[in-house]
């Protein structure tokens, strides 16, 4: 990596993944990619390759996932209100890193995002001083999304299942073109695990 970011990574890993396993027996985020790496661990490793600090937000009771993410180098935060939705989980992660210069928010079910994409988002925050940032692949906006520290109060107050959508509508992100289709691709079903990794 050519850019050492000061931003904190926030990996949202508190979802239930009901489309992956409607019965709720198997955790989507513990499911393994063809190389044997759990989905959430792969996503965490890519953030950690670029960012000095990564916070992984998990739901209470997800001890196995928390252990794996801790071993992957994350600071694990349990979100007591995770059942309220992504907004509550994001708020928990941001509050746990209140002194950060900014946050790069990634989803734990998007394990293929290139470190170079994360670096491009970080650079826009750190060097270009963007307020919010998002990668774009062939005209479509994807993840991860960056937020500067000026949005701390709004992020820390999030609740419900809309995440930071309203914040991004009020503060449209600077768009960074990337040759990385993985910014659009998540794991929803078991078939997604077996599909070839996305390419630019």
Give 9-55 pLDDT, tens digit per residue. 999 999 865 556 555 556 889 999 999 999 999 999 999 999 999 99
**Residue 199 maps to a domain:** no
- Find, among 51, 162, 170, 20, the residue nearest to 113 by Cα: 51
**Residue 67 maps to a domain:** yes
**Residue 5 maps to a domain:** no
Q: Which residue stretches of the chain have pLDDT < 70?
A: 1-4, 16-26, 196-200
Which CATH number is 125's domain given? 3.90.550.10
Structure tokens of 31?
Answer: 């499911």
| 144 cis-preceded (ω within 30 degrees of 0) | yes
**Residue 197 maps to a domain:** no
In this structure, the number of other CB atoms found within 10 A of the CB of residue 93 comes to 26
**Residue 72 maps to a domain:** yes
- Find, among 49, 35, 45, the residue nearest to 13 by Cα: 45
pLDDT of residue 1: 47
Segments forming the whole domain that contains residue 22: 13-190
pLDDT of residue 95: 97
Q: How many domains does the chain have?
A: 1
**Residue 195 maps to a domain:** no
């Amino acid at each position: 990596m050519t850019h050492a970011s000061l931003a904190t990574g926030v990996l949202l890993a508190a979802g239930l993944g009901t489309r992956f396993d409607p019965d709720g027996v198997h955790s989507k985020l513990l499911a393994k990619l063809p190389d044997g790496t759990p989905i959430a661990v792969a996503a965490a490793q890519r953030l950690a390759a670029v960012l000095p600090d990564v916070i992984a937000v998990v739901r209470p009771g997800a001890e196995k996932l928390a252990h794996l993410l801790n071993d992957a180098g994350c600071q694990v935060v349990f979100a007591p209100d995770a059942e309220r939705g992504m907004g509550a989980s994001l708020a928990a992660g941001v509050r746990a890193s209140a002194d950060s210069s900014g946050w790069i928010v990634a989803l734990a079910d998007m394990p293929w995002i290139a470190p170079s994409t994360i670096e491009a988002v970080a650079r826009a925050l750190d060097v270009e001083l963007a307020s919010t940032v998002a990668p774009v692949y062939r005209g479509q906006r994807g993840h991860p999304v960056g937020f500067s520290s000026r949005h701390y109060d709004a992020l820390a107050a999030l609740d419900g299942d809309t995440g930071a959508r309203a914040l991004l509508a009020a503060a449209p992100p600077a768009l960074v073109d990337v040759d990385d289709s993985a910014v659009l691709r998540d794991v929803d079903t078991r078939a997604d695990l077996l599909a070839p990794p996305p390419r630019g």
